[in-house]
């Protein structure tokens, strides 16, 4: 950041603000339940919660890209894409699609899902195994494809 890369600095400041906001939210919930606990210690986010926050920030930017492109504001869409590339460095390595397909196939067998209406059962089985390692949109697409194949 000393090199003057303002995009990285700005993106990381926004991420830090989101993390602090989540901690405050968590602290407030804890305080409502029990005002005698050590709020500072208890409200610190776990690694999983931080990964969830980073993923959430990436999702917000993907949504913004779609809106900017609809509004013909390509320069803003490009800026959001650059921010996504900065944020992705702070996520665990993403799971390859083949591995996701394996997990989805196992979940379909385990849940006995046969058609699209069973997608919720499959997703409930897959999400905990892929949390932070795969985008929910990708998982959803693969589950739909897989359930479409089993319905035929």
Whole-number pLDDT of residue 152: 42
Q: Could you tell me if 126 and 104 are in contact, meaning their C-beta atoms sit under 8 angstroms apart?
A: yes
**What's the mean per-residue pLDDT of the chain?**
87
The first and second tokens of residue 152, run together, are 């035929």
Whole-number pLDDT of residue 119: 87
Q: Could you tell me if 143 and 111 are in contact, meaning their C-beta atoms sit under 8 angstroms apart?
A: no
Domain with CATH 1.10.10.410 in the chain: 97-151
Q: Could you tell me if 29 and 43 are in contact, meaning their C-beta atoms sit under 8 angstroms apart?
A: no
Whole-number pLDDT of residue 133: 83
As a CATH number, domain 97-151 is 1.10.10.410
pTM of the model: 0.74
**Which of 33-37, 111-115, 129-133 has the least mean pLDDT?**
33-37
Q: Is the pLDDT reported for residue 12 higher than 90?
A: yes
Q: What DSSP character marks residue 71? A: T
Q: Is the pLDDT reported for residue 37 higher than 90?
A: no
| pLDDT tens-digit map of 38-89 | 777 777 888 888 998 998 999 999 999 999 999 999 999 999 999 999 999 9
């Amino acid at each position: 950041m000393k090199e003057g890369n303002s995009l990285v600095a700005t993106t990381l400041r926004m991420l830090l603000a989101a993390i602090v906001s989540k901690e405050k939210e968590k602290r407030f919930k804890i305080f409502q339940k029990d005002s005698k606990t050590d709020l500072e210690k208890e409200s610190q986010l776990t690694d999983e919660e931080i990964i969830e926050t980073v993923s959430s920030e990436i999702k917000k930017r993907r949504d913004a890209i779609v809106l900017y492109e609809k509004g013909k504001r390509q320069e803003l869409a490009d800026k959001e894409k650059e921010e996504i590339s900065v944020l992705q460095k702070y996520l665990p390595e993403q799971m390859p699609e083949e591995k996701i397909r394996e997990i989805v196939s196992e979940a379909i067998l385990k849940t006995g899902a046969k058609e699209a209406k069973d997608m919720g059962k499959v997703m409930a089985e897959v999400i905990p195994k892929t949390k932070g390692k795969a985008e929910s949109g990708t998982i959803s697409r693969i589950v739909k494809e897989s359930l479409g194949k089993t319905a035929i």
